[in-house]
């Protein structure tokens, strides 16, 4: 541990040290600052079950004994804990062979790959979410039915909501400021209790760290106010889905890589090739950005979400939207991810595909001028229809195995198949209403 880290730790009495699991949940332990200093210096151990259970904490690798595995605490990730004084938050991750399973480690490798190409990465996520006027107790008491939304009269970009609930959202902004997470804006969205929080753009792995911490701490902040935050992809068939759009740009020696003033739409060849790689590989690696059963109920026509690998300039119906308002702000908006996607997996997948496109000079074709929903796409550009097909596509992808390694691909696929296995045993309300009186 260097002197800078040791000095920094004197600000804290305690440190919340955690690892993100496959679903992006922050699994942490609270330790005092002296112990934290030792963990940073000598290493950290954490039970490997967090990469071998599902979102309901059911283990899916029965032949395992679930041991503590070596991990590393990253002192540069230390932030202030927003719910009390003199406490901090630090991100850790598994190392060695078991660390291959981590989306965060996979993202770090893609960033190293970009660095080897002389590129810096600037990125940000934007999240849509619902607020329910429910607590954990009330949700269970009513068996998750007849949900009561917060701000029922909400409208998109609503002045009324902003004025009515300003104190609550000022508190959210203060919470995130304490964590060092910038909010580019905060506004109401389509539907009762629906809000959107675009995060400020930052460099490197911090973009995904900010996104993952935002989701975890937003849930905690609103729970303290007696509300439930919903980031799941599709809460109700009558409501819009919840997206986790990802914005990314590249720089070389500080200069924007995606901009070329002499090119059509101001897009450089590197930008076009990045887009080409993203379009080519998204259908076979979609599960990294849509990893729940529920996510595929958002990716349907007419739901403000893409259904095939398309691109367009300032076109919100496409999977990849190019924003070219200024040279410095020229960027790719990847509109495929759900709000419940693991942000480290999303960013790793997007970078891996885009850099692969640059390396292989993949042509994206012409941008869409009209609605992507009115186009009959080529079969190879269509997205998988469900989690089963998406997991199969990733497993069969030689390119994904080259980019991420067999260990990660096989582990992630097994985890998604377990999620499907549990889902297929369930009987939904839709099935009851549709079939009970017929058969």
User: What average pLDDT does range 315-333 have in this prediction?
Assistant: 93
Position 1 scores a pLDDT of 57
Over residues 230-247, mean pLDDT:
94
Q: Is pLDDT above 80 for 6?
A: no
Look at the block and give the residue holding tokens 């300032």.
314
In SS3 terms, 355-417 reads as HHHHHHCCCCCCCCCCCHHHCCCCHHHECCCCHHHHHHHHHHCHHHHHHHCHHHHHHHHHHHH
User: What interhelical angle do 269-285 and 387-396 show, nearest 10?
Assistant: 120
pLDDT of residue 4: 54
Hey, what CATH class is 110-435 in?
alpha beta
| pTM for this model (two decimals) | 0.96
The strand pairing partners of 278, in sequence order, are none
| Interatomic CA distance for residues 128 and 247, integer angstroms | 14
d(CA 194, CA 259): 34
Measured between alpha carbons, how far is 111 from 352 in angstroms, rounded to an integer? 9
What one-character-per-residue DSSP string does 277-310 give? HHHHHHHHHGGGT--STGGGGTSSTTSSS--BS-
The pLDDT of residue 55 is 83
What pLDDT does 5 receive?
Answer: 60
- Contact 249/267 with Cβ under 8 angstroms? no
**Which parts of 136-277 are beta strand (E)?**
187-188, 194-198, 202-203, 228-230, 246-252, 255-256
Q: Is 178 in a helix, a strand, or coil?
A: helix
Q: Considering only CA atoms, which of 328, 318, 332, 359 is closest in space to residue 275?
A: 332
By the 8 A CB rule, do 324 and 311 touch? no
CB 51 within 8 A of CB 34: no
Distances (CA, A) of 398 to 103, 279, 284, 285, 401: 18, 16, 10, 11, 5
Average pLDDT of the segment spanning 203-226: 98
337: helix, strand or coil: coil
Q: Residue 23: enclosing H or E segment and its boundaries?
A: none
Do 274 and 248 meet the contact criterion of CB atoms below 8 Å apart? Answer: no
What does the pLDDT read at residue 304? 79
**Architecture of the domain delimited by 3-101:** Roll (3.10)
Q: CA angle at residue 215 from 31 to 341, to 5 degrees?
A: 115
* Phi, psi dihedral angles at 194 (to 5 degrees): -100, 135
Crossing angle between the packed helical segments 206-224 and 166-179, to the nearest 10 degrees = 140
Residue 251: name the closest of 322, 313, 328, 324 by CA: 328
- Residue among 51, 58, 55 at smallest CA distance from 93: 51
Residue 32 parent element (H or E): strand 26-32
Tell me the domain boundaries of the chain: 3-101, 110-435
| Residue in the structure block whose two tokens are 């596509």 | 393
pLDDT for residue 3: 53
Q: Tens of pLDDT along 8-66?
A: 688 899 999 999 999 999 999 999 999 999 999 998 899 999 998 888 888 887 667 88
> What does the pLDDT read at residue 2?
62
Angle at 105 between CA 104 and CA 108, to 5 degrees: 90
Label residue 29 left, alpha or beta by phi (over 0 means left) and psi (-120 to 50 means alpha).
Answer: beta
371-412 pLDDT, tens per residue?
Answer: 999 999 999 999 999 999 999 999 999 999 999 999 999 999
């Amino acid at each position: 541990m260097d002197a800078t880290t040791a000095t920094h730790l004197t600000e804290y009495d305690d440190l919340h040290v955690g690892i993100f699991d496959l679903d992006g949940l922050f699994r942490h332990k609270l330790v005092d600052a002296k112990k934290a200093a030792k963990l940073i210096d000598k290493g950290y151990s954490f039970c490997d079950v967090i990469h071998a259970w599902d979102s309901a904490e059911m283990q899916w690798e029965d032949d395992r004994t679930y041991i503590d595995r070596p991990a590393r605490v990253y002192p540069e990730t230390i932030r202030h804990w927003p719910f009390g004084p003199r406490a901090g938050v630090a991100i850790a991750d598994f190392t060695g062979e078991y660390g291959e399973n981590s989306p965060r480690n996979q993202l770090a490798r893609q960033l190293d790959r970009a660095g080897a190409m002389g590129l810096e990465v600037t990125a940000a996520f934007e999240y849509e979410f619902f607020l329910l006027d429910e607590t954990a107790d009330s949700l269970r008491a009513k068996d998750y039915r007849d949900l009561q939304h917060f701000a029922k009269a909400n409208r998109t970009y609503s002045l009324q909501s902003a004025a009515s609930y300003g104190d609550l959202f000022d508190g959210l902004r203060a919470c995130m400021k304490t964590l060092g997470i910038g909010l580019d804006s905060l506004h109401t969205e389509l539907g009762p209790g629906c809000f959107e929080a675009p995060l400020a753009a930052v460099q490197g792995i911090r973009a995904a760290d900010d996104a993952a911490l935002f989701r975890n701490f937003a849930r905690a902040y609103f729970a303290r106010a007696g509300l439930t935050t919903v980031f799941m992809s599709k809460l109700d068939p009558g409501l819009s889905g919840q997206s986790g759009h990802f914005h990314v740009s590249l720089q070389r020696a500080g200069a924007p890589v995606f901009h070329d003033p002499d090119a059509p739409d101001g897009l450089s060849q590197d930008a076009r090739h990045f887009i080409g790689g993203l379009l080519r590989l998204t259908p076979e690696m979609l599960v990294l950005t849509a990893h729940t059963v529920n996510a595929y109920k958002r990716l349907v026509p007419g739901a403000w979400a893409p259904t095939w690998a398309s691109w367009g300039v300032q076109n919100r119906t496409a999977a990849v939207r190019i924003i070219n308002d200024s040279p410095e702000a020229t960027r790719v908006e990847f509109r495929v991810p759900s709000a419940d996607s693991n942000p480290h997996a999303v960013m790793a997948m997007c970078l891996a595909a885009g850099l692969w496109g640059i390396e292989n000079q993949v042509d994206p074709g012409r941008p869409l001028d009209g609605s992507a929903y009115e186009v009959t796409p080529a079969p190879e550009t269509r997205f998988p229809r469900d989690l089963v097909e998406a997991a199969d596509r990733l497993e069969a992808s030689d390119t994904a195995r080259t980019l991420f390694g067999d260990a990660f691909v096989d582990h992630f696929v097994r985890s998604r198949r377990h999620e499907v296995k549990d889902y297929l045993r369930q009987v939904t309300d839709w099935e009851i209403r549709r079939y009970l009186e017929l058969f």
